[in-house]
């Protein structure tokens, strides 16, 4: 119980910084624990899951702009889900108020600006299964070999036939290392499709994955989170954007860089700094239970709150 509360305290520090991821499931990944990635959302259109996304405060979700190329039917956001399409008491479904795609996005493959903000029709109430991810500072860098995680419900195998094959698909997680952009461009220039191009991986993109292939984000994971630890807190480093096939050798996953677009994100959510609501909610949960613990444990939580 104490460790859970301490995690909540750490999340408060994260929440104060933020206010507090088309191909897709995780190829070569593993099943996540329920509630392990509480900012993960699923985006539905016409009652079908099409993409992932990340909750960044009580009103907004970040996803990929290419998830909204065909707005022929309304979108919905499913939060707190674990088994996709399998309703649970922890799951909340909300309508979308509006979608703001970055103006640089062109709908072409490997386009810059593949990032979108999704405003919920009403604020979501946080709980242990629905919490926001931290946003990074614009100056934050995630150097090569940084261990990060990508999550989603997309495609388990590299065959399109395996995508969303089950009505009870469990959230998948995969640890991936960051790959520097120069190396990533060199890898993509090996492929026939990109060999005549240079810098197909642009300055607003992050690469992560394995050169040997076998593990990757895939169809359906688009728009979902790439998260890394920064100052002890999980931070949104990237948004699942594109790749050549699924888990192919020399074709790592490419993500839209969140630090690159941080100013655009903050200016569009009109908060001048993200909402403090997550901080208040988590603080209440900690204080409600703090009397159960001894002096040393209370001091640990106090230090975490201050820092």
| Active-site residue flag, 114 | yes
- Options 222, 230, 275, 304, the catalytic residue: 222
- Options 10, 54, 114, 304, the catalytic residue: 114
Comparing C-alpha atoms, which of 150, 154, 194 is closest to residue 174? Answer: 150
What SS3 state is found at 247? Answer: coil
Say if CB 238 and CB 206 are below 8 A apart. yes
- Cα–Cα distance measured from residue 224 to residue 230, given in angstroms and rounded to the nearest whole number: 18
- Options 66, 112, 216, 221, the catalytic residue: 66
Tell me the sheet residues that pair with 25: 155
| Active-site residue flag, 222 | yes
Which tokens is 195 given? Answer: 């060999």
| Active-site residue flag, 165 | no
| Residue 214 DSSP label | S
- Cα–Cα distance measured from residue 98 to residue 59, given in angstroms and rounded to the nearest whole number: 11
Report CA-CA distances (Å) from 306 to 126, 155, 168. Answer: 22, 42, 41
| Catalytic site positions | 66, 114, 222
């Amino acid at each position: 119980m104490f460790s859970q509360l301490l995690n909540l305290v750490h999340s408060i520090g994260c929440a104060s910084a933020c206010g507090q991821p088309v191909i897709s499931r995780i190829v070569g990944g593993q099943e996540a624990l329920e509630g392990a990635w509480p900012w993960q959302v699923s985006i539905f259109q016409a009652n079908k899951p099409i993409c992932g996304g990340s909750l960044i405060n009580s009103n907004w979700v970040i996803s990929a702009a290419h998830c909204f190329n065909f707005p022929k039917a309304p979108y919905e956001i499913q939060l707190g889900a674990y088994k996709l399409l399998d309703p649970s008491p922890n799951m909340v479904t909300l309508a979308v108020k509006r979608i703001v795609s970055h103006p640089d996005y062109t709908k072409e493959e490997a386009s810059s600006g593949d990032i979108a903000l999704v405003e919920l029709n009403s604020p979501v109430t946080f709980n242990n299964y629905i919490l926001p991810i931290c946003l990074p500072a614009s100056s934050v860098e995630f150097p090569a070999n940084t261990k990060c995680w990508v999550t989603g419900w997309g495609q388990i195998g590299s065959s399109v036939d395996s995508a969303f094959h089950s009505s009870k698909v469990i959230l998948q997680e995969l640890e991936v290392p960051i790959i520097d952009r120069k190396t990533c461009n060199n890898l993509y220039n090996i492929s026939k499709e990109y060999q005549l191009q240079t810098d197909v991986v642009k300055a607003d993109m992050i690469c992560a994955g394995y050169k040997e292939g076998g593990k990757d984000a895939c169809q359906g994971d688009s728009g979902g989170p790439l998260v890394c630890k920064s100052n002890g807190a999980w931070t949104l480093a990237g948004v699942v954007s594109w790749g050549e096939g699924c888990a192919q050798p020399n074709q790592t996953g490419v993500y839209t860089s969140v630090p690159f677009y941080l100013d655009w994100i903050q200016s569009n959510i009109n908060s001048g700094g993200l909402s403090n609501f997550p901080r208040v909610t988590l603080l209440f949960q900690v204080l409600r239970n703090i009397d159960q613990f001894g002096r040393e444990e209370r001091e640990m939580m106090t230090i975490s709150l201050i820092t």
